Structure 1
Amino acid sequence: MSLPIDASEEILSGEAVAIDAQPIGFILRAAGAIIDMLIGFAVYLAFVFLGIWLGEIGVFDDATARIYQVAAIVISFLVLPVTVEVAMRGRSLGKLAVGGRIVRVDGGAIGFRHSFIRGLLGVLEVYMTLGSVAIITGALTPRSQRLGDLVAGTYSQRVRVPALVTLPPMLPQGMSEWARVADVAKLPDRLARRISQFLSSAAMLSPAARVRLADELAAEAAPFVSPIPPVPSETLLVAITAVRRTRETRALALADDRAERLTGRRVRV
């Protein structure tokens, strides 16, 4: 038995650290979309009033007025949203208000192609249907993706989330000598993630479940550790995590120091 994890929604870094890439909720996404819709309509009304004024002073004839009207629609509901989204790297005024940003399904930044597809389909599903198509598709998809997101391969990611207070794992008392000689290899990403989740939520588990999960995770981690100390499974998991963290931090510090020394030599040359 293991802790429930939705692997399809999980993005892991190279050291099995889960990137906080939560999709924004349906209600917040709808609120952001309404803000962007109102801005689009406001820009269009500004074009309309400008067109009426230009018509009154004789600048436009009938043919020019029709061209102007089409241009106003295209600029207000397609060009402006796409330009803003590209310039702000997946954000808009509505998304800023609700703390969201459009990203690719793999968590990467979007480009012009993604924004153009979203904007083009947005004219249909957001403006021409007053958001009804977007509401239906958003309510039926796990990440609240509208039709444009499904075609472009994007979703709205939450970027304003409460900071998680995490305490670094401390080596259990009495295991310093073991840590000095222990060979602790890098754990598989999924296993490292499960151990991290278990340690962070162990206090909320029932005693029996806590012991059972600790035993199972310790058994899976055992092939990567030598020697195995005669300690409870949960203590072993804490020790493994602490040793790996300490050694990886030290390795990163050495790599940074080496890079600085190499850079300094190149500058002097």
Structure 2
Amino acid sequence: MSTLVTGDAVVLELPPAGLGTRLLGVLIDVAAYLAVGVAAVWLFGFTFFVLDDAALSALVLVLVVLVLVVLPATVETLTRGRSLGKLALGLRVVRDDGGPVRSRHAAARALVGFGEIYLTLGAITAPFVLGTRRCKRLGDMLAGTYVVSERTALVRGAVARMPPHLAGWAVSADLGQVPGPLSLATRSFLARADGLSPRARAELGDRLAADLSVLVSPPPPVGTSREDFMAAVLAERRRRDLERIAREQAQLDRLRSMTEHARGD
């Protein structure tokens, strides 16, 4: 679902995954990673009989870190926020601004998750998930991420449309890095502007347009209305995000094709 990671906060329309679903996903992941660990021990088991205590402790520590930290972080990075458990249950990790997670986010979640999930058996996870608005565990809070459920059917809000007379300007404009909350607030404003009082519409629209204008260069043509300006920014950012997603998917497809070809040889 590529539209879930666009910059205009489309992902925020999906609800955060609840504790029960996340717990089941974690159990699936734990089973998978433990299976990998058991396979590694079986594969290199003969070395355990020739090592002294210090070397054996070091080897066990390395295996634990690789299986329970490095492997989960790598999987979430390569799959753009999914693991085996999340894939099975229709879950995905996203950034707070709705974008796809990067390696630093996945690494932070995995490092904290090692202590939060494995060392404490999840005892400190439930209070955080139940007590935060987006059902975040401690690792999500430190990484700036949360988990969404992609299988929940919701009524989607209207997507901002590009005003035809601003299309040429928007293509070449530097739209900056619009924060997720500002993007969401702008999109929400455009969706419900007709239902606001004239005064509230003007005040809120002016404030949002002013916040956006600081991040956009060059400014729109003289005489552009604030709402057309906001719609153009959101529509262009969405177009660019979809193009980026398509490029990334094409790169993944090429890499997958090369890997399959190499295996065939």
Q: Is TM more than 0.5 here?
A: yes
CA RMSD after TM alignment: 3.7
Which residue among 28, 51, 74 is the counterpart of 1:35? 28
| 1:69 match | 60
Alignment check: 8 A CA contact 1:102 1:154 kept: yes
| 2:14 match | 21
Alignment size in residue pairs? 177
TM-score by length of 1: 0.55
| Structure 1 CA distance for aligned equivalents of residues 90 and 96 of structure 2 | 18
Alignment check: 8 A CA contact 2:73 2:107 kept: yes
Report the CA distance between 1:191 and its aligned residue.
Answer: 4.5
Report the CA distance between 1:164 and its aligned residue.
Answer: 4.7
Q: Are residue 122 (structure 1) and residue 120 (structure 2) matched?
A: no
- 1:131-161 Cα offsets, whole Å, 9 max, x none, are 1111221111121111011011110022233
| 1:112 match | 103
| Structure 1 CA distance for aligned equivalents of residues 11 and 55 of structure 2 | 56
Report the CA distance shift for 1:65/1:190 in structure 2 as closer, same or farther (over 3 A): closer
Q: Are residue 92 (structure 1) and residue 83 (structure 2) matched?
A: yes
Report the CA distance between 1:129 and its aligned residue.
Answer: 0.8
Indicate the structure (1 or 2) with the bigger Cα radius of gyration. Answer: 1
3-state SS in 2 of match to 1:94: helix
TM-score by length of 2: 0.55
**For structure 1, which runs of at least 5 residues remain unmatched after alignment?**
1-10, 168-187, 197-216, 225-243, 257-269
| Structure 2 CA distance for aligned equivalents of residues 99 and 87 of structure 1 | 17
Structure 2 residue identity aligned to 1:27: G
Identity %: 35
| Structure 2 CA distance for aligned equivalents of residues 166 and 77 of structure 1 | 39
Structure 1 residue identity aligned to 2:64: I
| Structure 1 CA distance for aligned equivalents of residues 66 and 93 of structure 2 | 21
Alignment check: 8 A CA contact 2:129 2:135 kept: yes
More relative contact order, 1 or 2 (CA 8 Å, 6+ apart): 2
Alignment check: 8 A CA contact 2:81 2:100 kept: yes
Report the CA distance between 1:84 and its aligned residue.
Answer: 0.4
Report the CA distance between 1:47 and its aligned residue.
Answer: 2.7
| Structure 2 CA distance for aligned equivalents of residues 46 and 157 of structure 1 | 31
